[in-house]
A and B are shown apart, each in its own frame.
Chain A
Amino acid sequence: MNETNLNGQPLIELRHISRVYQVGVEQVFALRDINLNIYRNEFVAIMGPSGSGKSTLMNIIGCLDTPTGGEYYLKGVNVGELDDNELAEIRNKEIGFVFQMFNLLPRANALKNVELPLIYAGISKTERIKRAREALESVGLGDRISHKPNELSGGQKQKVAIARALVTNPSLILADEPTGNLDSKSGEDIMKLFHRIWTLGNTIILVTHEYEIAMHAQRIIRLRDGLIESDAPNSTRITYDSMVE
């Protein structure tokens, strides 16, 4: 079940994707010609040096950014043909973001932070609270729901962010350097959590420049100067099979 499904429709399909920034008179090619299929329940790591275009690619996949060239199909839908409101709806329903800097609302407690995507989905308050609580419990923070971000450790903040990403049951979890701001112990914790989420059937794309982190994934894509340098299954994968309860 954890094996790549090479048959059937890809969850995401990128065709000749490019992203060019105009900086003054100069053009910066963040992405040049990206071709990529990702299937359901894959666990993909994107690696590459700083400035290689990893975040740009994630933003395009997450429908926060739009490519300057090429086509992007999400569940068979050509994302390039959607307007701003439809893109917002896709972000809300299909995508769960996890950022390096956590990006929690500082004045809201854990529960309110996790509720946030459900507000824009128009879900009633009681249902929101129920689902946000469940999501927090699933990441092991059931006893921290009324804590504000500044009352939580880095690892706990990232778990809240993961709960927020999971709460809408999205098709895709996108994590851009989720352990980049954590000590190695907390980073390890977060990776365990991603691993478990993946075994529950989620699709995960994770950006990292740390080899040990990438080793948790099933498949590793390396970027350099906006191009895919390599894309291969991870043969030396770390698993938590012995540790997962």
Chain B
Amino acid sequence: MKVITEISEGIRLSLESIWANKLRAFLAALGVVIGISFVVLMGWAISGLDKALQDSINLIGEDMLYIDKWDWSGGKKWKEIRNRKDITYQQAKQLISQLTLAEIAIPGVTTWSAQVKANNNFYSGISIYGTSADYGRLPAGDVELGRFFSLFEERETRNVAVLGHKVAKTLFPDQNPIGKYIKIKGRDFEVIGVVKKQGTMLMDFIDDRIYIPIGNFLDIFGGEFYRSVSIGIKAGSIDRMDEVREEARGLMRIIRNLKPWEEDDFSINETKAFEEIVSTFRLYVWGIGLGMTILAFIVGMIGIMNIMFVSVAERTKEIGIRKAVGAKNRSILMQFLIESSTLCLVGALTSVIFCSILVFFVAKFLPKFVPETAFLQPFLPFDFVLYASFVAILVGAIAGLLPAIRASRVDPIESLRYE
């Protein structure tokens, strides 16, 4: 009860004295304000990345495996991977038909930049993706308009196309694209569906492609130069990933005629690869941010300690009065610790408000100029705001410790002797 009375009184007093010396308090807390700003902004960037990662994983599905010539984690054994033989459509079909444990398996082949004609205009830089009707059963194949192509249309190699969300917006800005015709490499395709907006930082290309039956794809593009086909396999649940992966690897090794001592000449990619990419990003952010944060906090602590020593010196008489009416040494100690912590906490709240505004505008406007930053969110992560407040209180208490000890040792007789 006594302690609560003293603490609440201490907080009230601290706010009063901060208010009485606004500018001085602000300058003293500037280092802490900057330090806290770094912490919450780092938290913001990282939580944006994490969310982008999670979005991508959700989009693909955690239980997806991709058998591919290419390796998603990139970098490693680049030369060896480049020299792998392409996976042919025949091999892909063979694998898909032999798999027994997978829920869905689909072939996929891409051209990254094709020219498309719609409404008598030409558009370039659109990717075309050849796949099977089963793609429509994956989460990534959900349509917002029309439907995905059917098994029948796939077999019959009908000239039907399903547009990615962004392609639909580009080709048919204010029209319903269903039933319209587009020209891909001079051939007419009927638009029968539009896939939902999927794009995330790591997968933004996915909104920018057109899905057609794989047979048509190979017919149009196959002769040009050889392309490697990938096989997407949905295990059905994470528990079954290992079985499905082993079955697929075994079958694929047979299909590719590998000798027992030869290494796999294909990669089995999973969404885990994204996590690796993001964790490298995260490391960069922390690496840059942490050094600056520590520096700012050291400068901040010196500032707070300084101002608290000044405050103690100015208020020796007040301390004497308080002791004369019954304040214990530890009450005085606590009062000054509360004061330095409150100063830092107010600094932290200032930076949170400042950063919230900053973050809002950055997240709203930066992606217009730098689309890669679309993963940023227009608000600060709440848990980081909490950490920051906690850190501020701690920093304040540490920085205020020596001044508070000095305050608690003020001799009341000495301090009250003279005016």
B331 at the interface (CB under 8 A from A): yes
Q: How many A-B residue pairs have CB under 8 A?
A: 72
Q: Is B329 an interface residue (CB 8 A)?
A: yes
Decide if B187 is an interface residue (CB 8 Å cutoff): no
Find out whether the CB atom of A120 lies under 8 angstroms from the CB atom of B327. Answer: yes
CB contacts (< 8 Å) of B329 on chain A: these are 84-85, 88
Docked-complex contact A122 and B1, CB < 8 angstroms: yes
Segment from A33-41, A98-106, A132-140 that makes contact with B: A98-106
User: How many Å lie between the Cα of A4 and that of B71 in the bound state?
Assistant: 102
- Interface residues in B315-337 by Cβ distance below 8 A to A read 317-318, 320-331
The 8 A CB mask of B379-419 against A (1 = contact, 0 = none) is 00000000000000000000000000000000011001011
Contacts of A168 in B (CB 8 A): 326
**Chain A contact residues (Cβ within 8 angstroms of B): what range?**
20 to 34
* Interface residues as binary, A110-122 with B (CB distance below 8 Å gives 1, 0 otherwise): 0000001101111
Q: Are A119 and B5 in contact (CB under 8 A)?
A: yes
Which residues of chain A are near B331, meaning CB under 8 Å? 88, 120
Given contacts A103-B321, A105-B318, A107-B20, are A88 and B328 in contact (CB under 8 A)? yes
B9 within 8 Å of A (CB atoms): yes
Interface residue total, chain B, C-beta cutoff 8 A? 28
A105 and B326 contact, Cβ closer than 8 Å, known pairs A64-B413, A119-B6: no
Known: A64-B412, A64-B413, A107-B16. A121 touches B326 (CB 8 A): yes
**B326 with A89: CB separation less than 8 A:** yes
Residue among A84, A103, A105, A124 having the largest count of chain B Cβ atoms under 10 Å: A103
A8 to chain B, nearest CB (A): 27
- Asked if A91 CB lies within 8 Å of chain B CBs, one says yes
Does chain B have a CB within 8 A of A179?
no
B2 within 8 A of partner (CB): yes
Looking at the complex, which one of B6, B20, B320, B413 makes contact with A120 (CB distance below 8 Å)?
B6
Within 8 A of A (CB), among B1-60: 1-3, 5-6, 9, 16-17, 20
Q: Is A169 on the interface with B (CB-CB < 8 A)?
A: no
Which chain A residues border B323 with CB–CB below 8 Å?
64, 88, 91
B331 to chain A: closest CB distance in Å? 6
What's the nearest-Cβ distance from chain B to residue A147, in Å?
A: 17
Instruction: Give the shortest distance, in Å, between A233 (CB) and chain B (any CB).
Output: 30
Task: Report whether A120 and B328 are in contact in the complex, using a CB–CB cutoff of 8 Å.
Answer: yes
Contact A116 B328 (CB under 8 A): no
Assess the A103–B324 pair: CB atoms within 8 A.
yes
Q: Are A124 and B413 in contact (CB under 8 A)?
A: no
Contact: B413 with A65, CB < 8 Å? yes
Q: Could you tell me the distance between the alpha carbons of A172 and B323 in the complex, rounded to whole angstroms?
A: 17
> How near does chain B come to A43, taking the closest CB pair, in angstroms?
22
Contact A92 B419 (CB under 8 A): no
Contacts A65-B413, A119-B9, A120-B331; is A91 near B2 (CB within 8 Å)?
A: no
CB atoms of A97 and B324 under 8 A apart: yes
Report A-chain residues with C-beta under 8 Å of the C-beta of B322: 116, 120
CB pair A97–B325 under 8 Å, yes or no, is yes
Asked if A20 CB lies within 8 Å of chain B CBs, one says: no
CA distance A125 to B323 in the complex (A): 20
Task: Judge if A224 is at the interface, Cβ distance under 8 Å.
Answer: no
- Hey, what's the 0/1 contact readout for B297-314 against A, CB within 8 Å counting as 1? 000000000000000000
A186 on interface, CB distance cutoff 8 Å: no
Answer yes or no: A82 CB below 8 A from chain B CBs.
Answer: no
Asked if residues B416 and A99 are in contact (CB atoms below 8 Å), the reply is: yes
B20 smallest CB distance to A (angstroms): 7
Query: Distance in Å from the Cβ of A206 to the closest Cβ of chain B?
Result: 17
A93 proximal to B (CB < 8 A): yes
From B318, B321, B324, B326, give the contact of A93 (CB < 8 A).
Answer: B326
CA–CA, A169 to B179, complex, Å? 93
Q: A59-B413, A65-B413, A117-B325 are in contact. Are A103 and B2 (CB under 8 A)?
A: no
Cβ of A238 within 8 Å of any chain B Cβ, yes or no, is: no
A164 at the binding interface (Cβ < 8 Å): yes
Min CB gap B403→A, angstroms: 19
CB within 8 A of B5: which of A91, A92, A101, A122?
A122
Greatest chain A CB density within 10 A among B1, B2, B326, B419 is at B326
Report chain B residues within 8 Å CB of A117.
Answer: 325-326
Taking a contact as CB atoms under 8 Å apart, the answer to whether B317 and A103 are in contact is yes
Which residues of chain A are near B327, meaning CB under 8 Å? 88, 120
CB distance from A53 to the nearest CB of B (A): 13
CA distance A120 to B9 in the complex (A): 10
Bound together, the chains give a CA A178 to CA B328 distance in angstroms of 25
Kindly report which residue of chain B lies nearest to residue A164, judged by CB atoms. B325
Tell whether A77 is near chain B: CB-to-CB under 8 Å.
no
* The residue from A91, A101, A122, A123 contacting B325, defined by CB atoms under 8 A apart: A91
Q: When chains A and B are docked, how far (Å) is the Cα of A62 from the Cα of B326?
A: 11
Bound-state Cα–Cα, A227 to B321, Å: 28
Q: Which residue of chain B has the shortest Cβ distance to A87 in the bound complex?
A: B328
Query: Complex Cα distance A99/B418, Å?
Result: 11
User: Shortest beta-carbon distance, A138 to chain B, in Å?
Assistant: 18
Task: Tell me which of B328, B330, B419 contacts A101 (CB under 8 A).
Answer: B419
Since A103-B324, A125-B5 are in contact, a sample of 6 more A-B pairs with Cβ atoms closer than 8 Å, ordered by chain A residue number, is A59-B413, A64-B412, A107-B17, A116-B325, A119-B9, A122-B2
The 10 A-B residue pairs whose C-beta atoms are closest, nearest first, are A92-B326, A122-B2, A117-B325, A120-B326, A88-B328, A91-B326, A101-B419, A122-B5, A103-B321, A85-B328
A-B pairs with beta carbons under 8 Å apart, 12 shown: A65-B413, A85-B329, A88-B328, A91-B323, A97-B324, A101-B419, A103-B320, A107-B17, A116-B321, A120-B2, A120-B326, A123-B5
